[in-house]
Amino acid sequence: MNGFAGRGEGWAGRGKGGGGRAVIAVQDLAIRIGASRPVDGISFDIAAGECYALLGESGCGKSMTALGLMRLLPPGARATSGTVSFAGRELLALPEASMREYRGGQVGMIFQEPATSLNPVLTVGRQIVEALELHSALRGEQARQRAEELLDQVGIPDAKRRLDEFPFQLSGGLRQRVMIAIALAGAPRLLIADEPTTALDVTIQAQVLDLLDELRRSQGMALLLITHDLGVVARMADRIGVMYAGQLVEEATREAFFARPAHPYSVRLFAALPDAERRGGRLATIPGSVPPADTLYPGCRFVERCGEAREECGKAPPPWRDAGNGQRVRCVLADAAPAVAAGVGAGDTAISGAEKPLLAVEDLKVHFPIRRGILQRAVGAVRAVDGVSLQLLPGRTLALVGESGCGKTTAGKAMLQLIRPTAGRVQLDGLEITTRSTAELRPLRAKMQMVFQDPFASLNPRLRVGEIIAEGMRALGTADGDASRRVAELLEKVGLRAEMANRYPHEFSGGQRQRIAIARALAVSPKVLICDEPTSALDVSVQAQILNLLADLQRELQLAYLFITHNIAVVDYLAHDVAVMYLGRVVESGSAEEVLRRPRHPYTRALLAAVPRVDGVRGDAPKLAGDMPSAANPPVGCHFHPRCPLADAGCRVDYPDETRVGATQVVRCFRAV
């Protein structure tokens, strides 16, 4: 470790949360799966009350490291060397029976996807009680009372009722809190949180992060946070370890890391972040991808993707170098700042506001009937979309933002007539399409396409990529000449090679599959593209590639985008106009500059305040408490009033009309400021 081995609690980089004896100390941990080495000599320690963030792209070995600490490795994987010392006890040497006393007890873990981690056939209360019975002396009614206290502690409203509910009855945010409650049942000294907020809205994400931060500070609990989100790291971490290809390449305090990242990989992660300052320019991207775990490295592991690499970088592994201010880096370069490519991005595509809209939506409604009884009579309706009006102009991007469940995706599908609307009008290039039959819609489908959130689920696994892209052209009769030539052109346009047409979807990475989905949508030469969370599950480096691609295509083809997302940073970079949805209705809309810089609705301000920022600064708007009400039973009056800090008696009676507060900014609020 070149002088850094065995640094223990004396390491000068210890953050504010540390200071005591290390709760866990990992030294030269290596994990193998056959010839693969997903973790290859990683060392770090965490003190009581400290948050240590493990940062890096997918495939770097972060989750495998966590599973190694818990001794939950998949079949065929084993720890081949190193030590994991927990409170002075060597975990890797314990027999499995003894390890069970630590796992779930003194060491808790929050897995990335609560929907697959919770037992669907057991109630929430039963699953928490089970953890209490394993790791405490509580039984029966005492265990149930403690389970209720844990649910209340993690901020779940009406905890007593929730004990008897099943996981499917809870929202994503509530399921994540149940996972935290189960992890806390054993009163752990170390909590491992593996991407705990990846699939959550910014408001729920803020609540979960605040909860974790409060627990580790109040209970002196060590926290290992695994993430690829730099904003979450800035908000939570005391110290940071940047992981690449199975090894740590940089370690630093939060202050030093965000002031000046030292490794070329860390610098590129920052340069790939979308924000308003990069509007009109291209985001920096990291070429290639994380190498396979069975790759042999004669030198630096990042050399193939590093723009500053020297000849010496490929010959011998770089030693650890002290970069000062409690920061160390595995790199021979004194200055890691890359040359970021400049170019034209989203900002130059704006056009005159007098342009005729490509897509005009007026009072769109989608109500799903609730049926009960033997005769399945309608006894109510889920008002998923309840009167949405939007306009989409050529060459511009309209971002539709809001929490999960507000109706964004349903609205997008209804605009394309993938779901037939209950009421309202949708005009495509001046033609009314809501009254047209399926046969009449077929020739119009070429003008409007959708890029779905999960490309793996939306691509047919039995077809080759070339067949997937050509399928739409053949179905709609838009194939002009040789379809294979057109497929090759589209693959090149989205940054893939023409010969990849003969591969299957499972042979591609997540970012490549999303490019294939975009190529499929472009195959029929659409004018309108509805993008449903196309970057939500991607690393920041892959996200930058997709956003650059979308900006280039819009500039070249004058495409109109409806960009459905809850990622405000992406909206700030890409969108020209913004519409904020809450419980099926648009509560604020206008240009991106108006809505994001001068928000007038309390909900919009709460969304913006909840976004984790890389500078660590938090918004001054009040936190958004609770969850969105059910669209089957929306509150009387303003739908937002149960969660609004400004609500008065009038808000509980009437729904506010539209009020124009700027050149294009419109808000529905009695208390707009």
Reported as a single tens digit per residue, the pLDDT across 184-208 is 888 899 999 998 887 677 887 888 8
Which range marks the domain in which residue 62 is found? 8-106+186-330
**Distance, CA of 426 to CA of 438 (rounded, Å):** 15
Which structure tokens are listed for 156? 């779940």
pLDDT of residue 192: 95
The residue whose two tokens read 């970012």 is 511
Please report, as a single letter, which amino acid is at residue 598: R
Q: Is residue 2 part of a domain?
A: no
Bridge-based pairing of strands 423-428 and 431-432 is: antiparallel
pLDDT of residue 277: 80
| Alpha helices (H) along 499-618 | 510-522, 540-557, 568-574, 592-597, 602-610
Residues 87 and 234 in one domain: yes
3-state secondary structure of 666: strand
Residues 137 and 101 in one domain: no
Q: Is residue 345 part of a domain?
A: no
Among 273, 305, 288, CA closest to 540: 273
Among 2, 57, 54, CA closest to 28: 2
Sign of CA dihedral 100, 102, 106, 108: negative
**Distance, CA of 414 to CA of 434 (rounded, Å):** 9
Q: Is residue 391 part of a domain?
A: yes
pLDDT of residue 480: 64
Question: Phi, psi (5° rounding) for residue 71?
Answer: 55, 45
Residue 105 near residue 135 (C-beta atoms within 8 A): yes
For the domain that residue 528 is a member of, what is the CATH number? 3.40.50.300
Question: How far, CA to CA in Å, does 262 sit from each of 286, 327, 544?
Answer: 16, 8, 21
Residues 199 and 243 in one domain: yes
**Distance, CA of 98 to CA of 523 (rounded, Å):** 58
Q: Is residue 383 part of a domain?
A: yes
Residues 320 and 411 in one domain: no
Residues 545 and 430 in one domain: yes
Residue 428 near residue 448 (C-beta atoms within 8 A): yes
* Cα maximum dimension of the chain: 77
Instruction: Give the residues across from 578 on adjacent strands.
Output: 399, 590
**Distance, CA of 576 to CA of 561 (rounded, Å):** 10
Q: Is residue 488 part of a domain?
A: no
Residues 115 and 100 in one domain: no
Residue 596 near residue 606 (C-beta atoms within 8 A): no
Residues 420 and 408 in one domain: yes
Residues 401 and 263 in one domain: no
Q: Is residue 612 part of a domain?
A: yes
Q: Is residue 490 part of a domain?
A: no
Which structure tokens are listed for 154? 């993690």
Bridge-based pairing of strands 327-330 and 397-401 is: unpaired
Q: Is residue 484 part of a domain?
A: no
Residues 6+ apart with CB under 8 A from 339: 307
Which structure tokens are listed for 426? 């949708």
3-state secondary structure of 518: helix
Domain end (from 185, 205, 227): 185
Domain end (from 185, 207, 240): 185
Residues 299 and 358 in one domain: no
pLDDT of residue 17: 42
Residues 447 and 566 in one domain: yes
Residues 644 and 523 in one domain: yes
Q: Which residues does the chain have with pLDDT short of 70?
A: 1-20, 199, 335-354, 479-481, 537, 616-622, 673
**Distance, CA of 201 to CA of 216 (rounded, Å):** 22
Domain end (from 154, 185, 216): 185
Number of domains in the chain: 3
Residues 124 and 199 in one domain: no
